[in-house]
Amino acid sequence: MMKPRERLEKCLAGEEVDRPPVALWRHFPTDDLTPFTLARSVVLFQNTYNFDFVKITFASSYASRDWGTVESWDGNPEGSGSVTTFPIEYPQDWAKIKVHSPTQGALGDALECIRLVRTALPAEISIIPTIFSPLAQAKHLAGKERLSEHLRKAPDALLAALEVISEQTILFIRECKKLGIDGIFYAVQHAQKHLMTEPEFVRFGMEDDLRILAEVQDLWLNVGHIHGSQIMFDKAVKYPVNVLNWHDREENIALQYGLGKFKGAVCGGLRQWDTMVYGMPDKVRSESLDAVDQTGGKRFILGTGCVLPIIAPHSNILAAIETVTSSGD
């Protein structure tokens, strides 16, 4: 039986594996208020299910908190919180966004969580922290509607702020690398055609994304997550990441199609709500086996299109793991 790192390395190389890797990740609301409690929950989750890699899911607004964003959890079963205070109201407010120390405040807490997780888990278990794109961070600073308004009515002010956010993100990633991360989970939330045009996304999103991803090309397990619906998949496949993750079931962009367009591995196969929450274990097994059939079990990691909702039954999580485990027999 292969160890997790060997399995992942062979998977990314398109080589034969004993079974497809599997990884699920989730939010830990209220636990994510401190580095210790979040790290403890991440490690407990991993030790319960033994996934092939660990994705550290911070609170959604963690990267924006030092600029004034306030978030709280209101019981959302996905586990993500809701922003209660947006520090950006007017276009001129973007000028308040300045680079600060990546080792202090909320970013410092995130680094401490990474350190604790890395210390607690064996070296063969790869860890990747969540990094939100600058445009996603800007959403947590201004709100979705206001961000769209400023993007079109005050583009220069927003672009200047995105430059600062990009620089801050790179400084943070450099600190993460010192802690022994294996890659990053890079979350892109605005590559959706109903949110902006493709030229707008290239100008306000993709250019910064590529600059940031250039910073992690020395790492081997970078996962790109393209969030949402009506995604710009032709743009996503150009991202220099090792793994691409999207809502393959909901978007009807099949894993098999993705493999033909993307040179790395694909991650998905399971509906996060209809299957992992509201389905029965038999449905989990059916989707898992279908995903293996689509990909031939090569360059494929079984997972959901996004975070695992915190109300997903234990039996469904086990069904996903046991299905890929038995598929390698």
pTM for the complete prediction?
0.97
Question: Per the structure block, which two tokens stand in for 267?
Answer: 């991650």
First to last CA, the chain: 10
Residue type, 245: N
Rounded percentage of the chain residues whose pLDDT exceeds 70: 99
pLDDT in tens, 130-170: 999 999 999 999 999 999 999 999 999 999 999 999 999 99
Can you tell me the mean pLDDT for 80-103? 98
Can you tell me the mean pLDDT for 76-104? 97
pLDDT in tens, 19-66: 999 999 999 999 999 999 999 999 999 999 999 999 999 999 999 999
What is the distance between the alpha carbons of residues 197 and 184, in angstroms, rounded to a whole number? 27
Torsion, Cα 61 63 69 75, to 10 degrees, reads 20
Tell me the pLDDT band of 252, cut-offs 50, 70 and 90.
confident
Q: Which pLDDT belongs to residue 328?
A: 58
Tell me the pLDDT band of 329, cut-offs 50, 70 and 90.
low
Nearest to 270 by CA among 308, 310, 227, 219: 308
What is the distance between the alpha carbons of residues 174 and 181, in angstroms, rounded to a whole number? 10
pLDDT in tens, 187-206: 999 999 999 999 999 999 99
Q: Work out the number of other CB atoms within 10 angstroms of the CB of residue 48.
A: 11
Set out the domains of the chain in order of their start, with CATH numbers: 25-246 (3.20.20.210)
**Residue 207 contacts residue 226 (beta carbons within 8 Å):** no
Question: Per the structure block, which two tokens stand in for 243?
Answer: 């793994």
* Mean predicted lDDT score pLDDT of the chain: 97
Can you tell me the mean pLDDT for 90-94? 98
Q: Which pLDDT belongs to residue 129?
A: 98
Residue type, 303: G
